[in-house]
Structure 1
Amino acid sequence: MVFFFLIPFWNFTDVTNLISLSIEMPAGSFFRRWLFPRGFMFLVSLCMVLQSSRGDDFQLLMQFKSSLKDESSRVFDSWTTRNRLCNFTGIVCDSNRMVKEISLPQEELSGIVSFDSVCGLESLEKLDLGANFLYGRVTDHLRNCSRLEYLDLSNNSFSGEFPDLSVLNQLKFLNLNATSLSGRFPWKSLENMTSLGFLSLGDNVFEKSPFPLEVLKLEKLYWLYLTNASIEGEIPEGIGNLTLLENLQISQNSYLSGKIPDGITKLTRLWELELHENQLTGKIPVGFGNLTNLVYFDASANYIEGDISELKSLTQLQSFQMYGNNLSGEIPVEFGEFKSLVELSLYRNRFTGTVPQKIGSWAPFQFIDISENFFTGPIPPDMCKQGQLTDLLVLQNKFTGGIPGNYAGCSTLVRLRANNNSLSGTVPVGIWSLPSLEIIDLRLNQFEGPIASGIGEAKSLAQVFLANNRFNGPLPERLSEASSLVSINLSSNNFSGGIPENIGELKKLNSLILDHNLFSGNIPVSIGSCVSLNEINLAGNSLSGEIPASIGSLTSLNSLNLSDNQLSGEIPVALSSLRLSLLDFSNNRLTGHIPSSLSMVAFNGSFSGNPGLCSEDTRSGVRPCSSHSSRSKGHRTVIICLLVGIVVLIILGACFVFTKSKHKNQQIPARKSDSWNIKQFHILSFSEDQVVKALKQENLIGKGGSGNVYKIVLDNGKQLAVKHIWKSENPGADHRRSLSSSPMLSVRKDRRSKEYDAEVAALSSIRHVNVVKLYCSITSEDSNLLVYEYLPNGSLWDRLHSSNKTKMDWLVRYEIALGAARGLEYLHHGCDHAMIHRDVKSCNILLDEKMKPKIADFGLAKILEASIASIDTSCVIAGTHGYIAPEYAYTSKVNEKSDVYSFGVVLMELVTGKKPVEPEFGENNNIAQWVCSRLMGNKESMMDMVDSSFSVGFKEDAVKVLKIAMHCTARLPSLRPSMRMVVQMLEDADPCKLTGIVVNSEDDNEKF
């Protein structure tokens, strides 16, 4: 009988060995005479049946193996016929040697899973394939895994909808997190899974649905993860029925609204509660203090209001985050006694009062961010007591006192930001030399004292912002040893002495702002070795000596301000090679000629207050270099006037002929164009007569709210774009007569628009490679012609969205984004008087033959608004739907930040390939709102929004620009960066710089 007992543990090899043994036994033995003949056939039959069953499992696993690739070679090397099935890597068998578990998480497997093979394993209870590279659809064959208790397919790249798995009613663990599934999830199938304890369905692109009530019936749940699962509506009160819950995460569902339900206060076993980035409102429910086991609580980025007094009994909290809400009141004093607290983030609320002074002093505290509130009193002193603090962020409050000396030894500190408070005193000496410190931002306080020489030991320090304080003393020579420095802003302090001679050793320095201090001595020649410098501002000091010619070697320099000093000598010719959007040498003691490339209208006022300077160009705003030159120019003016008179006579005759033949040639209806006045802003190779004659219907290429646009080709082959603007009504309008009878309109027809003249004067001064060139204006009594360079590739809108769109890879789109940003930066910061475009959009970004972008149609919306307002008193909003900044809804006052918002929309078009307004965004939503709703802080979601035509290698780079676009489209204008900062951020996101690609480009220093 012992032999029969052992049968279930034998395989076919064991039976073969038994037969051999029996043959060797004596012929008269009991086994040979009785047991063997009678039991042999039964034994062999039974073993064959068992072996057949195990053979099926083997074959099914071989099919499963054949559908996948083992990139790591860690798994399938053991899956061979030489090995017993139950010894395969990742395989666990039951007592009958049947496959019970397949556990292969994080094994770098790839391919399409053969679910029909897997679910042919009749004893399978666990299938764990999480965190691999699996793709394809999750098929209906999964229903056949009827004994399954554990299913984990998370963190893979499956596609399509998830099948109805109602039959899997024994499941206790279901993890489908980040599987890339889409469509409608079969919530009904959860009703039968009453044994579920773990349910994770987040980070998928499911169709929007209300909070699934089926989940509320799963009373054994201890873990529920529905973050980023397209849940809308409200969290039901019935959530309180899931009393076994220990972990509840329902974050990043942008359509989830309403208040935190009172039922949550019944979940006393919770140790983690995540509700961040929803649309939750109301107050923290009464009774929330019952959750005394809570360790991690995050309800950030909602609209929750009231105070946090209900949380004072949550003594087990380690991480507490509720930033970006409408909370008010004080932090309860009990928080100072929380002995486990290591993370606190409450920024961007309306908290008041003092912060408990013991906060963070018990455990290894890691970071605090309580910025943008109304806290008063001193900064808590002991948050680095355990030596773990990385971030001390208390900016934009009303803190007083100084920086506690305890932080001078906080070697782990990475970010110290306390700007915009009422702090005073000296900065503890040790802070300047902290080895991990990357940014120290103390702007807008009342600090005094020097920068310690130990700053040279701060090898990680990248940004030093000390503007608007009372710091004094010289800059330490060892400043140049802080080799990671990128930005230095010491503006408006009392620093004195000279600028360190060895400052040229800061090779990463991008911005050097030392204006309005007491610096003296010469500007160091070594400054020309700071090869990354983009901005130099040394204005308002007592610097003397000559301007170093070495500055001319700074090819990245965009802004140079040396005004209000005591600099002498000539302006170095070497500066002519710089491509600057801002230049200011005013109020110094400079002498000699202004280099011709710097003597332009764009820099008017940049050389004033230097009596010794002169220029060959009278438009520069300084005296001419010789009287002979003045007389010569006077003679030339007389000659030009005579020539203009002759041209006017010719035009009079031409206009007469032009008017008579307008119907034959279908030219523009020039009603009173008997005399034309031309103002040229560049050397012209054509006459106004050539332009006017070419304005025929067949040359019309566009129509806009302000006029028609024509493409004309001159006899010499030169192509021009001409915009024709009527000073009064559109001649083709049906209501022409009624408007003509308007007395207000008559006044406008009798005089030229002062606004138009002022705008043209501003446009004429623009000299930038990324702004469309205006050659001249041609005006008559009732018509204005603006003659621009012609750009053959049309607008960015056409290339992205129209029937003429072309395929543009990310390198091309990035260059368009950067070039357009530089053009806008020039308008905002480089012009003598800052210009607001007011209608930034992809239609107004034109592309030349090399796809180089140029900003067009800027400023005209303002002119037209002024004209229309004289007839119609209703509010006229300049801009285009989808690009208009939200502040238009509540104020008519706009500034350059409105342009920044519109440009952010253009960046989103470039990254996503979508229009600013699309049906998929939903009613009354635009692309900015769509991006925000899908972003949810999730990298995969951002990658999903990137245009699918980009190669995989550049999608990461496109995501960087999408983040910049998010900054540009911040709802509050004050939170948007300047265009100068946008350019810097785009330059940092250069895909060629990041990938090592070399792109041959033409010199952008276009000659005007």
Structure 2
Amino acid sequence: AIARIPGLRELRLENNLLGGTFPKELGSMAALEHLGLAGNPFLPMELPAEFGNLTRLKYLWVSEANLVGEIPERLGNLTDLEHLDLANNNLEGGIPGGIWQLEKLQFLYLYNNQLSGTIAAGAIAATGLTEIDLSTNRLNGSIPEGFGKLLNLRLLFLYYNRLSGGIPDGIASTPALADIRLFNNSLTGGLPPDLGKHSKLLNLEVSDNMLSGELPEGLCAGGAFNSLVAFNNNFTGGLPSSLGDCPELKSLQVHGNGLSGEVPLGIWSSPKLFTVRMRGNKLSGDLPESLPPSLSRLEIGDNRFSGEIPSSSPSLQVFWASNNLFSGEIPSDLKGMSQLLELFLDGNQISGQIPPGIGSLRSLTSLNLRGNQLTGSIPGAVGTLPVLTSLDLSGNRLSGEIPKEMGGLKLNYLNLSSNSLSGQIPPALQNQAYDRSFLSNPGLCASSSAALNLPPCGSGSGGSGRLPKGLLILFLLLGFLLFLATVLFGYFAVRYQRRRKDADDLASWKLTSFQSVGFTESSIARGLTAGNLVGSGRSGQVYRVSLGNRAGWEVVAVKKIWNNKKLDGHLEKEFEAEVKILGSIRHANIVRLLCCISSPDSKLLVYEYMDNGSLYQWLHGQIRGGAAAGETALPGLTKEGVLSWPARLRIAVGAARGLCYMHHECSPPVVHRDVNSSNILLDS
């Protein structure tokens, strides 16, 4: 119906929730000058060829509209078109040649599609083009020479394509050029030598290509240049000296090239410099004592920088200076770098001690000082860094003991190998996560001979003097007799104390019964022996206790809860209340709690015994081919003695019924909180 308004000049429906497809009849609105349909969730459809009839159209914006197929050739008929935006769709095929002949076209946005083929063949009549963004497509071939004749060209984005060949020198002569981004292609050759001399260039991004030669000297000739991103190419020579007089410079990323020489001194005083990434070159020279106040990231590893480490950079968060020629000592006062997150100084010639001031770096997450000439002991301040997760001090000359404070660190990576450390490793660091962290430190020992493959800590060897043989025999005999007397005395004393303690404990025990039971607390206590232990976990130990009574033998499971301290009155009441709730539960799929036996320092929970173990044991082959000795055979086994699928289904349904009862039908509800196969027990 909207197409029936013949005189309509502007139709702006962008950024709504329009669905379906837009009618081809829009192509009959001959007076239309502005058509905006962008940002709507239309059904996938091709751009109607009828739009080529809108010969008065100046503005066509249909980005993010779910377009598919090819761009219609008939768009080349829109001779008044100034702005064409079909970005962020799924368009395929090539760019129609007619688009480059639209003499009034100023803005062309076709980025983030699946366009292929070459950019343009032949002359470009659209000499008024100001901004061209064809990025993130599959375009191949070379950059058209005609782009160098676009005198109004301000922005050229061709990144993330498959372009090859060189960059036309004529592009450097365009007087309005401000932003050029060509990264992630296969471009070769050098950068136009006059780039930046004829315009106020702001940004140059050509990383991840195969470009070579030297960087243009005049990049900052216009005084507005702020970003050079040229990493992962084959550039050689030095950094342009003009970058040292570039007051707007914010980002300098040239890592992964073959650059050499010293960094222009003025770069280190650029007031707005935020990121410097130069690693993997052949750059040399010293760093100033103070770095730019706005600098956040400095990566200069794998170069030939020398001198001492700077002591001040208030905004610096990442400092990577690995594998250079830095010497001297680490600055004793690091408060001027309080924002540091990562500090990598490995592979240099740094000497002296690790300063205690390292503890002022409260945000530090990674510290790598490997492969230097550091001496002295590790300061305890290292162990106080609250968020440190990676620490490498290997390959130095450090001595003394590992400070106990380091036991409190939560490290994902630790390497103290190849030093001269001695003494006992802090207990918290004696685990297999650090099994290679202490190699080549002959003086280190562990509290257990099995820990970290290090010798156990113990006393040194005795003196070299000798006693007369007769006196030695006498001392040995007296020592043996004294030892024997001590052992006998201790045995009888312990036996007496145990009997007395058992009597006292029995007198203090309280049995709370929830079922009819035929045993006493003393008969339960006598069954808590090592031979009856069947399991141990975080909360306590479980025993299988056989009890004799008038009806025969009864088997129960007794859970002894860890409790090294007496509970205060409030917690004692909470425990008793919770146990009473559990004791009141009656359900076929929930193990019955028979009674609770408690004393001021002991808690025993007595359950009915499930004679076929846990689901975990059956699933993981700990029980197979029938029940264990003395237990009831479990129905639903396959020929191989494992649980059949019907049996597994019955178990799952039973567990679900038990949980459903606890969570929804029990009053008050009981939340299990630890449902796993080890806690699902099987009866006969």
Give the structure-1-normalised TM-score. Answer: 0.47
User: Contact (CA 8 Å) 2:107, 2:132: kept in 1 or not?
Assistant: yes
User: Match for 1:391: what amino acid?
Assistant: S
Q: In structure 2, the residue corresponding to 1:324 is in which secondary structure?
A: coil
Work out whether 1:262 is the aligned partner of 2:97.
yes
Shift of 1:454: 4.8
Give the Cα–Cα distance (whole angstroms) in 1 for the partners of residues 97 and 77 of structure 2: 11
User: Match for 2:307: what amino acid?
Assistant: G
Q: Which residue of 1 aligns with 2:2?
A: 165
Give the Cα–Cα distance (whole angstroms) in 2 for the partners of residues 487 and 722 of structure 1: 51
Shift of 1:288: 5.2
Give the Cα–Cα distance (whole angstroms) in 2 for the partners of residues 624 and 440 of structure 1: 48
Shift of 1:684: 9.8
Give the Cα–Cα distance (whole angstroms) in 2 for the partners of residues 504 and 387 of structure 1: 34
Give the Cα–Cα distance (whole angstroms) in 1 for the partners of residues 31 and 415 of structure 2: 74
Per-residue Cα deviation, 1:726-748 (whole angstroms, up to 9, x for no partner): 69x999xxxx99xx9xxxxxxxx
Q: Which residue of 2 aligns with 1:294?
A: 129
Shift of 1:555: 1.1
Work out whether 1:459 is the aligned partner of 2:293.
yes
User: Contact (CA 8 Å) 1:430, 1:454: kept in 2 or not?
Assistant: no
* Aligned partner of 1:197 among 29, 33, 54: 33
* Aligned partner of 1:582 among 403, 413, 419: 413
Q: In structure 1, the residue corresponding to 2:261 is in which secondary structure?
A: strand
Alignment gaps of 5+ in structure 2: 461-532, 546-555, 558-588, 591-604, 627-637, 644-671, 676-684
* Aligned partner of 2:267 among 413, 426, 431: 431
Q: In structure 1, the residue corresponding to 2:334 is in which secondary structure?
A: helix
Q: In structure 2, the residue corresponding to 1:199 is in which secondary structure?
A: strand
Work out whether 1:334 is the aligned partner of 2:170.
yes
1:764-803 pair list within 5 angstroms: none
1:201-212 pair list within 5 angstroms: 201-212=37-48
Q: In structure 2, the residue corresponding to 1:290 is in which secondary structure?
A: coil
Q: 1:689 to 1:372 in 2, by over 3 A?
A: farther
Per-residue Cα deviation, 1:825-884 (whole angstroms, up to 9, x for no partner): xxxxxxxxxxxxxxxxxxxxxxx9699xxxxxxxxxxxxxxxxxxxxxxxxxxxxxxxxx
Give the Cα–Cα distance (whole angstroms) in 1 for the partners of residues 132 and 109 of structure 2: 6
Shift of 1:207: 2.3
Per-residue Cα deviation, 1:384-404 (whole angstroms, up to 9, x for no partner): 111111110000000000101
Q: In structure 1, the residue corresponding to 2:619 is in which secondary structure?
A: strand
Shift of 1:569: 1.4
Give the Cα–Cα distance (whole angstroms) in 2 for the partners of residues 714 and 523 of structure 1: 58
* Aligned partner of 1:248 among 75, 84, 88: 84
Q: Which residue of 2 aligns with 1:724?
A: 619
Give the Cα–Cα distance (whole angstroms) in 1 for the partners of residues 190 and 537 of structure 2: 63
Shift of 1:516: 1.0
1:499-538 pair list within 5 angstroms: 499-538=330-369
Q: 1:274 to 1:469 in 2, by over 3 A?
A: same
Give the Cα–Cα distance (whole angstroms) in 1 for the partners of residues 536 and 210 of structure 2: 53
Give the Cα–Cα distance (whole angstroms) in 2 for the partners of residues 282 and 210 of structure 1: 19
Work out whether 1:215 is the aligned partner of 2:28.
no
Q: Which residue of 1 aligns with 2:374?
A: 543
Per-residue Cα deviation, 1:206-251 (whole angstroms, up to 9, x for no partner): 2222112332221100111111111111101111111111111111
Give the Cα–Cα distance (whole angstroms) in 2 for the partners of residues 280 and 389 of structure 1: 32
Work out whether 1:570 is the aligned partner of 2:401.
yes
User: Contact (CA 8 Å) 2:149, 2:174: kept in 1 or not?
Assistant: no
Q: 1:782 to 1:597 in 2, by over 3 A?
A: farther
Q: 1:720 to 1:226 in 2, by over 3 A?
A: same
User: Contact (CA 8 Å) 2:421, 2:444: kept in 1 or not?
Assistant: yes
Work out whether 1:377 is the aligned partner of 2:208.
no
Give the Cα–Cα distance (whole angstroms) in 1 for the partners of residues 374 and 352 of structure 2: 5
Shift of 1:620: 2.0
User: Contact (CA 8 Å) 1:605, 1:621: kept in 2 or not?
Assistant: no
User: Match for 1:616: what amino acid?
Assistant: S
Shift of 1:382: 0.9
Shift of 1:685: 5.3
Q: Which residue of 2 aligns with 1:752?
A: none
User: Match for 2:98: what amino acid?
Assistant: G
Per-residue Cα deviation, 1:432-466 (whole angstroms, up to 9, x for no partner): 121111110001111111112352xx111000001
User: Match for 2:135: what amino acid?
Assistant: S
Bigger Cα Rg:
2
User: Contact (CA 8 Å) 2:272, 2:294: kept in 1 or not?
Assistant: yes
User: Match for 1:537: what amino acid?
Assistant: N
Q: 1:350 to 1:849 in 2, by over 3 A?
A: farther
User: Match for 1:281: what amino acid?
Assistant: S
Q: In structure 1, the residue corresponding to 2:171 is in which secondary structure?
A: helix
Per-residue Cα deviation, 1:582-622 (whole angstroms, up to 9, x for no partner): 11111111111111011111111211211111110332222
Shift of 1:175: 1.9
User: Contact (CA 8 Å) 1:315, 1:339: kept in 2 or not?
Assistant: yes
Q: In structure 1, the residue corresponding to 2:228 is in which secondary structure?
A: strand
Q: Which residue of 1 aligns with 2:118?
A: 283
Q: Which residue of 2 aligns with 1:387?
A: 223
Matched pairs, number: 506
Shift of 1:687: 7.7
User: Contact (CA 8 Å) 1:391, 1:414: kept in 2 or not?
Assistant: yes
Question: RMSD in angstroms over aligned alpha carbons?
Answer: 3.5
User: Match for 1:574: what amino acid?
Assistant: E
Q: 1:208 to 1:470 in 2, by over 3 A?
A: same
Q: 1:287 to 1:500 in 2, by over 3 A?
A: same
Work out whether 1:600 is the aligned partner of 2:495.
no
Give the Cα–Cα distance (whole angstroms) in 2 for the partners of residues 261 and 730 of structure 1: 74
Q: Which residue of 1 aligns with 2:13?
A: 176
Q: Which moved more, 1:582-591 or 1:412-421?
A: 582-591
Q: Which residue of 2 aligns with 1:353?
A: 189
1:559-708 pair list within 5 angstroms: 559-618=390-449, 619-626=451-458
Q: Which residue of 2 aligns with 1:485?
A: 316
Give the Cα–Cα distance (whole angstroms) in 1 for the partners of residues 262 and 323 of structure 2: 17
Q: Which residue of 2 aligns with 1:468?
A: 302
Shift of 1:468: 1.0
Identical-pair percentage: 36
Give the Cα–Cα distance (whole angstroms) in 2 for the partners of residues 463 and 716 of structure 1: 65
User: Match for 1:459: what amino acid?
Assistant: P
Q: Which structure shows the higher helix fraction?
A: 1
Per-residue Cα deviation, 1:477-520 (whole angstroms, up to 9, x for no partner): xx32x200000011111111111112133221101111111111
Runs of 4+ in 1 over 4 A off after TM superposition: 680-690, 713-717, 719-723, 848-851
Give the Cα–Cα distance (whole angstroms) in 2 for the partners of residues 432 and 406 of structure 1: 13
Q: 1:723 to 1:327 in 2, by over 3 A?
A: farther
User: Contact (CA 8 Å) 1:417, 1:439: kept in 2 or not?
Assistant: yes
Shift of 1:567: 1.0
Q: Which residue of 1 aligns with 2:109?
A: 274
Per-residue Cα deviation, 1:755-778 (whole angstroms, up to 9, x for no partner): xxxxxxxxxxxxxxxxxxxxxxxx
Give the Cα–Cα distance (whole angstroms) in 1 for the partners of residues 187 and 331 of structure 2: 43
Give the Cα–Cα distance (whole angstroms) in 1 for the partners of residues 275 and 196 of structure 2: 21
User: Match for 1:305: what amino acid?
Assistant: N
Give the Cα–Cα distance (whole angstroms) in 2 for the partners of residues 203 and 439 of structure 1: 35
Give the Cα–Cα distance (whole angstroms) in 1 for the partners of residues 394 and 376 of structure 2: 13
User: Match for 1:282: what amino acid?
Assistant: G
Work out whether 1:305 is the aligned partner of 2:140.
yes
Q: 1:723 to 1:370 in 2, by over 3 A?
A: farther
Give the Cα–Cα distance (whole angstroms) in 2 for the partners of residues 582 and 211 of structure 1: 55
* Aligned partner of 1:362 among 198, 203, 211: 198
Per-residue Cα deviation, 1:683-738 (whole angstroms, up to 9, x for no partner): 89558999xx99xxx89xxxxxxxxxxxxx99699x996693469x999xxxx99x
User: Match for 1:330: what amino acid?
Assistant: G
